[in-house]
Amino acid sequence: MNDMHEANRRSWDAVSPKWQAKIDTEKPWRQVPVNPALVLEKEELRHLGDVAGKNVCVLGSGDNLIVFALAGMGADVTSVDVSQTQLDIAAGRARELGLAVTFLRADVTDLSALPTDRFDLVYTGGHVAVWISDLKTYYREAVRILQPEGLFMVTEYHPFRRIWEERPDCLQVEMAYFEQGPFQYDRSEDVPGAKPGSYPSYEFHWTVSDYAMAVIEAGCDLLALEEFGTSVEWEVTPLAGLPHLLMIVGRKSD
């Protein structure tokens, strides 16, 4: 694990209790297994189809709501995240829900703990790629663990929404669309009792073409590239008219 990924792991381990407490109060995670549409978009469900009995891996599982949805749909799910704290909290929720999920702590750029050609479907998305310094290695590992003809689904926060200053009155570009970073931030304010600067984190901004080409170069035939959604409840910046999500679906070549 490189130094920036290690810093991100430390920061996520530290902020996860506060983050997951919000999930407890704001997200109906107990309902997700019986109503996957709470967390999966209709466009995703259309491409996923019937996952019952399939081996599925979710990379960068975070709050694990997607994991719970897929497990509730009958899939045999492996949840992978860099933060052990995130995984431990999710494992407790999975037990409460009666879901049999395999949890694995790993950096998504090194999935050597998982065998080649193992899964029917690999899903990743939400806000995962922003924490990853090497998108091509990330997706190459994702496709490696797929069976031939397996499905690789990426659904990410649309990169058009990342370039703006956070202000409610107008749109002002803060960083160029083509500037990848790394961008360094301080997450210590989200950790009770932490000293300023004690939890640095690093973000990386990828373009639509970065995502698409990384999927193709990893060894997939492109099945779909879709942009959808219009609003996000937590955003301050007035981004009406811009797509919320970017979805790319690929099928692993023979």
**What DSSP assignment string belongs to 232-251?**
-TT--S--TTS-SEEEEEEE
Look up residue 249 and give its two tokens: 């679906």
Phi, psi (degrees; rounded to nearest 5) at 80: -120, 130
Burial track 119-137 (b if 16+ CB lie within 10 A, e otherwise): bbbbbbbbebbbbbbebeb
H helix runs in the chain, sequence order: 3-26, 42-48, 65-72, 84-97, 135-144, 208-217
Predicted confidence at residue 22, as pLDDT, reads 86
Q: Yes or no: say if 126 and 66 are a contact pair by the CB < 8 Å rule.
A: yes
Q: Yes or no: say if 12 and 85 are a contact pair by the CB < 8 Å rule.
A: yes
Predicted confidence at residue 204, as pLDDT, reads 97
Distance CA 123, CA 60 (A): 9
Residues in the chain predicted with pLDDT less than 50, given as ranges, are none
Distance CA 36, CA 41 (A): 9
Predicted confidence at residue 13, as pLDDT, reads 94
CB atoms within 10 A of CB 249: 22
Q: Check residue 160 and report its DSSP letter.
A: G
Distance CA 158, CA 78 (A): 25
CB atoms within 10 A of CB 199: 22
Q: Check residue 92 and report its DSSP letter.
A: H
pTM summary value = 0.96
Predicted confidence at residue 50, as pLDDT, reads 97
Predicted confidence at residue 26, as pLDDT, reads 85
Predicted confidence at residue 250, as pLDDT, reads 98
Question: Left, alpha or beta for 173 (phi > 0: left; psi -120 to 50: alpha)?
Answer: beta
Calculate helix-pair angle for 65-72, 84-97, nearest 10 degrees.
Answer: 30
Q: Check residue 113 and report its DSSP letter.
A: T
Predicted confidence at residue 215, as pLDDT, reads 98
Predicted confidence at residue 254, as pLDDT, reads 78
H helix runs in 179-219, sequence order: 208-217
Distance CA 189, CA 197 (A): 9
Predicted confidence at residue 233, as pLDDT, reads 77
Predicted confidence at residue 107, as pLDDT, reads 98
Predicted confidence at residue 44, as pLDDT, reads 97
Q: Yes or no: say if 61 and 86 are a contact pair by the CB < 8 Å rule.
A: yes
